[in-house]
Amino acid sequence: MLLFALGIACLAIRNPDPLINPVVYAEDGVWVADALTNGWLNTYLHARPDYFVFFNIFTLHISSVISSALSGNPLFFLPQSIAFVSYGFYSFVSVLAFITIKRISNNYFAFLIYFITLMIPLGMSQNEIIGRLLQIGFYMPFITLCLFFSREKIASRNFRLSIDALITLAAATNPVVFSVAGIYTIRKFITSNDKKYFFNEHMLLLIMLGVLFLIIAPKMIGVGGIVEKFDGKNLIELITARSILYPFVFKFYSELNDVYSIILTIAYVLFCAFSYRKTNSKTIQDIIVITSCALVIYIAATVFGRPVLTGMLSGYQVTFLDRYFMGINIISVFLFVICLTQLSIGIKTQIITKIIYLSLLINYIINAGLIIENYSTRQAGKTTLFFSEQLCLAEKSEDPDSLTIKIYPVPEWEMKVPSIYVNMLQCRKN
């Protein structure tokens, strides 16, 4: 709980703009408006046409409840509530990473992953991530990995069932979780000494994921797929530097090229392979293999699912759109730290481990100015009006019982809500 509270405070310092300039941003507003109009259950089921975004809607639901509890209105303190719930979510992810590493190693390495996941670099666009809730789905594959690895150490059946439910809901937020679950199940089944017991212990989870996949798959086939141009000249950058290396090289990212990226990625792979061969722990070997496969599949899903990203990069000069890579980046760092824990076992490699450990910490500390935006944001959420002002400038819509509120980014985003929620604020002119 102390780490959770500390994480919230650190994130609020890292990006206080959502509190200083409280606005509702993009899908955060659209989904809340839909829920207030059609009911939360409808929004849980139909927020997107291709797949569910359960945890996005769940956290927005909590935010609206907090706003209602504080003001009697689900909109009045909505941006501030979203900001605190967002800080809480990303802090929870760091605590979960801490717990997972601590279970297989010690506090020394657990603190490292906790610190880096809190401070993971997000380029120019962290103001649409930290303090917002629309992007949290990109963390679901990583959360799933942590839940699976933690599940192995839990004796309580009810606790394991709770974790299974969370994994299923994570899959109902990001479909890549299905692949992560498949990788985990296959690897652990192959290496299990009692395959019947393993199957029985995971049967309910597999059934829940299977049913959910059958519901989601037809929608994704109809909507998804490669629909944008693919730009091959940036493919190496996307796969290597932007996906795997960025959390380590963010300071000098613009100095890289394809040759350096390939060399550094090969070094990363060899480091992981060396750690795999070095460890005598079957559990650690499983974790390295499963996490490595999850990393590769997440990268592949990003490349083939959003090929337009190859056109967004421009020869190591920009990292936008960072949100599509942050979930991959955090898995890359997680895998690296797991492998680093194994390097510390041998007497001959302990000095190397300490050098790498301190280098990572120092890199983030001395380059904190690239991460912390406590003086000014690099991507403004608010340009003119606060959300409270936008509420009072709500306009009539084609539905006489609804009002349209302009939200950010302007001018294309808006939320249409039942007029009662705006009229009760007593700020509209008659």
Indicate whether 82 and 191 sit together in one domain: yes
Query: Are 109 and 217 found together in one domain?
Result: yes
What is the mean pLDDT of the segment spanning 65-73?
A: 96
- Average pLDDT over every residue of 384-410: 91
> Do 171 and 125 reside in the same domain of the chain?
yes
Dump pLDDT digits (tens) for 299-316.
999 998 888 888 888 889
371 domain-assigned: no
Average pLDDT, the chain: 92
| Res. 318: pLDDT tops 90 | no
- Which of 223, 255, 290 is at the close of a domain? 223
Q: Give the separation between CA 271 and CA 342, rounded to whole angstroms.
A: 11
Lowest-pLDDT choice from 141-145, 285-289, 348-352, 419-423: 348-352
Residue 293 lies in a domain: yes
User: Domain residues for 242?
Assistant: 232-345
Q: Is a pLDDT exceeding 50 seen at residue 429?
A: no
Kindly tell me if the per-residue pLDDT of 239 is higher than 80. Answer: yes
Same domain, 247 and 126: no
Domain co-membership, 200 together with 237 = no
Spatial distance between the Cα atoms of 423 and 429, rounded to a whole number of angstroms: 10
- Verify that 99 and 27 share a domain, yes or no: yes
Residues 6+ apart with CB under 8 A from 256: 237, 241, 245, 249, 264, 316
Same domain? 187 vs 287: no
Top pLDDT among 406 and 311 is at 406
Q: Is residue 381 situated within a structural domain?
A: no
Same domain, 121 and 207: yes
- Can you give the pLDDT at residue 226? 43
Q: Are residue 101 and residue 219 in the same domain, yes or no?
A: yes
Contact 131, 17 (CB under 8 A): yes
Helices 140-151 and 323-343, packing angle to 10 deg? 30
Identify the pLDDT of residue 2.
95
**Whether residues 150 and 255 fall in one domain:** no
125-179 pLDDT, tens digit per residue, is 899 999 999 999 999 999 999 999 999 888 888 999 999 999 999 999 999 999 9
Domain count, the chain: 2
Kindly give, in sequence order, each residue whose CB lies less than 8 Å from that of residue 237, ignoring residues fewer than 6 positions away.
256, 258, 261, 313, 315, 316
User: Is the CA virtual torsion 301, 166, 289, 89 positive or negative?
Assistant: positive
Domain for residue 245, yes or no?
A: yes
Looking at the domain assignment, is residue 394 inside a domain? Answer: no
Q: What pTM does this model have? A: 0.95
Q: Are residues 217 and 248 in the same domain?
A: no
Question: Of 167, 201, 223, at which residue does a domain stop?
Answer: 223
Shared domain for 97 and 80, answered yes or no, is yes
